[in-house]
Amino acid sequence: MKNIFAVAGVVIKELYRRKDFYVLFIVTVLICLVMASVNIYNDAKIVRYLKEICLLLVWISSLVIAITTTARQIPAERENRTLLPLLAKPLTRAQLIVGKFVGCWLACGLTLLCFYLFFGALAASREHQWPLLNYFQAAALHWFMLGIVVALALLGSLVFAAPSSNSTICFVVVGGILFVGRHLDQVALTLREPVRTIVYAVYFAVPHLELFDVRDLVIHNWPLIPWLYFSLALLYALGYIAVFLTGACLVFRRKAVN
């Protein structure tokens, strides 16, 4: 565990040394403030459009940070020739993978904390209420979704040759799941065999990231998600994280590091 957290600590330090987060955060804040300054029929209580824009920017920023940070972890160690010395220490390959994952996931958690604090402040400035539990559910689901994405990008970084190709493929896959994942079974019904069976199998195989997108519930002030289903969703995410991390460990075990 100590080794894992040591590796994770380095990843977190790397995040706050790089400018990605600061740039994305400032851009998000600026866009939201500009949108908030728009006068809509002299009504200062209109807030939902602002919440939607802010959450959209938070989602885009968090995905960019999660994928780009994770995709370059192992390739950067290899390019800098620090991978071999790292593994020469009492650190197994599996510990390195898990350490990188924990670091990236915690880094995403820290960025989400900043983003959601800003979002809460922005919403409260107009709504004069702070539904903390709703925001907690949204942020927690978002963070666990990013866990799946981080694990996927980590596996991709071991399979694909370059971080750029890995990032691109991850963005396409994640975007695809978020946009059509919920409807893949309906799409399958319109297709002919054997494509129908393949698409149907894909529907059940892929992690349904759209489950974790509860922006509409937050924007429109819907009641809390029942805690049982909330917990089940977190377990669902943990299951996929475990699958992708196991895959990454298996691939990395056979990978030449020099």
Partner 1 sequence: MRSPRTSLLLLLALLVFCFGLAAQLEPQFQAWPGSRSTGDLFNVMLGDSRRLFANEFFIKADEYYHSGYYPTMFDDNAAFQTTHMAADTGAVNSRNHGDEHGFLGPTRNWIDAFGRHFFPDRHTHLDEGGASDDLSGSENVREILPWLKLSADLDPDNVQTYTVTAFWLRVRMNNPHEADAVLHEGLRHCPDSYDILFELGRLYSENYHDTDRARNVWELGVRKWQKLDPETKKENRLILEQLTIHLARLEEDAGDLPKAIEWFQAAQKVSLTPGVIQQQINRLQFKLGQEFNPLLKPLY
From the CB of 221, what's the least distance to partner 1, in Å?
6
Q: Say if CB 143 and CB 112 are below 8 A apart.
A: yes
Residue numbers 127-166 binding partner 1 by CB under 8 A = 141
Q: How many CA atoms lie within 13 A of 218 on its CB side?
A: 29
Q: Is the peptide bond before 194 cis (omega within 30 degrees of 0)?
A: yes
**Does 33 contact partner 1 by CB under 8 A?**
no
Task: Pick from 26, 30, 46, 195 the residue near partner 1 by CB under 8 A.
Answer: 46
Stretch that binds partner 1, among 58-66, 67-75, 82-90, 203-211 (CB under 8 A): 203-211
**Does 235 contact partner 1 by CB under 8 A?**
no
The pattern of x and - marking residues 163 through 192 that bind partner 1 according to CB under 8 A reads: -------------------xx-xxx-----
List of residues contacting partner 1 (CB under 8 A):
38, 40-43, 45-49, 141, 182-183, 185-187, 203-204, 208, 210-214, 216-217, 219-223, 225-226, 229, 232-233
